[in-house]
A and B are shown apart, each in its own frame.
Chain A
């Protein structure tokens, strides 16, 4: 499905709009961990479901689905059963992004039922990137991320020049590419971001400009090296 280009600012505004609407509707104020399931159910008045989508849709890499006419958002049951819930909440926020940003396109481009299935293989397509960015903004609002970052790392952004730490002990650590999971975990703990993954947080920190990778090494999971984190 092709969608028009959207700026990061407009996607962030859409996420903020949903939060504002929810706060008014439920008469509460949202702070991390952002209650994404309730945002979907009571903020957007959509039904939420958990199904074995991989079997039902016969797609082995599907994580979520949005049914526009039925006003339904699904997450794959494997995400519910997973020990780490970060991916579940991100998927739900991602589907909320499709609802907020793309439901008219889904409706228009549907040959049959107006539905959109999110597959891992499509992650780099603009429609999925936009929903990912929406999820990131929704779950990790800039204000709360900045507050948490400043409380732990101060007002200067972290520029990571080294791949490996000179020191990485139990009390403190030397911020570098190799310690990105601890950088993310520190901000998550300070800000109460209990429903996001470290990977999602480090991406958000870079996007906001609080962490800058000055090396050519990517910050991503590398099982043998990252096992200690």
Chain B
């Protein structure tokens, strides 16, 4: 179970040693809005803002996106453009793939040397 977006953001911000007002200033948002975000009083910001935050904090963008239950815009575009990826994900959803299934799939992809970057 992942933590809330607000808690995750606060933890990563403190680890980065960035103040709340400083973060707000660097992403061009008000300190009041950012404190509402950290206290989960408002929904997490948009994917683009989350990526900007990750950049400012030098934090793992996937961790922040996961905590916000949002998808990396790059992945969204990829799935939209690659129809078979969408079909595969639909199938995985229908079959109810669990964590173990996804681990096995990743291992299979490694063994089969899928993808252009594999020698």
Binding site for B on A (CB under 8 A): 37-38, 41-42, 47-52, 72, 77, 80
B43 is an interface residue with CB less than 8 A from chain A: no
Q: If A37-B20, A37-B21, A80-B21 touch, does A50 touch B32 (CB 8 Å cutoff)?
A: yes
Q: Does B10 contact A (CB under 8 A)?
A: yes
A18 to chain B, nearest CB (A): 17
Interface residues of chain B: helix, strand, loop or mixed (majority): helix
Q: Which residues of B contact A48 (CB under 8 A)?
A: 20, 35
- A38→B21 CA distance, assembly (Å): 11
Q: Are B32 and A47 in contact (CB under 8 A)?
A: no
- A38 and chain B: residue at smallest CB distance: B19
Which of A38, A42, A50 contacts B35, CB < 8 Å? Answer: A50
Q: Which among A38, A41, A42, A51 is the interface contact of B32 at CB below 8 angstroms?
A: A51
Residues of chain B contacted by A47 (CB below 8 angstroms): 10, 38-39
**B30 an interface residue at 8 Å Cβ cutoff?**
yes
B27 at the binding interface (Cβ < 8 Å)? no
Give the residues in chain B near A50, CB-CB below 8 Å: 20-21, 30-32, 35
Q: How far is the CA of A77 from the CA of B39 in the complex (A)?
A: 16
Q: Is the CB of B14 within 8 A of A80?
A: no
Interface residues as binary, B8-27 with A (CB distance below 8 Å gives 1, 0 otherwise)? 00100010010111000000
Q: Is B19 a contact of A49 with CB atoms below 8 Å?
A: no
Listed by A's residue number, 19 A-B pairs whose Cβ atoms lie within 8 Å are: A37-B20, A38-B17, A41-B14, A41-B19, A41-B20, A47-B39, A49-B38, A50-B20, A50-B30, A50-B31, A50-B35, A51-B32, A51-B35, A51-B36, A52-B32, A77-B31, A77-B32, A80-B21, A80-B31
CA–CA, A51 and B36, complex, Å? 8
Give CA–CA (A80, B21) in the complex, Å.
8
Bound-state Cα–Cα, A80 to B34, Å = 13
Q: Is the CB of A37 within 8 A of B19?
A: yes
Docked complex Cα distance between A41 and B22 (Å) = 14
Smallest beta-carbon distance B80→chain A, Å = 38
Nearest A residue to B31 by beta-carbon distance? A50
B35 CB, min distance to chain A CBs, angstroms: 4
Q: Taking CB as reference atom, which chain A residue is nearest B38?
A: A47
Contact partners of B30 in chain A: CB under 8 A: 50, 77, 80
Known contacts being A49-B35, A80-B31, A80-B32, is A42 close to B14, with CB within 8 Å? yes
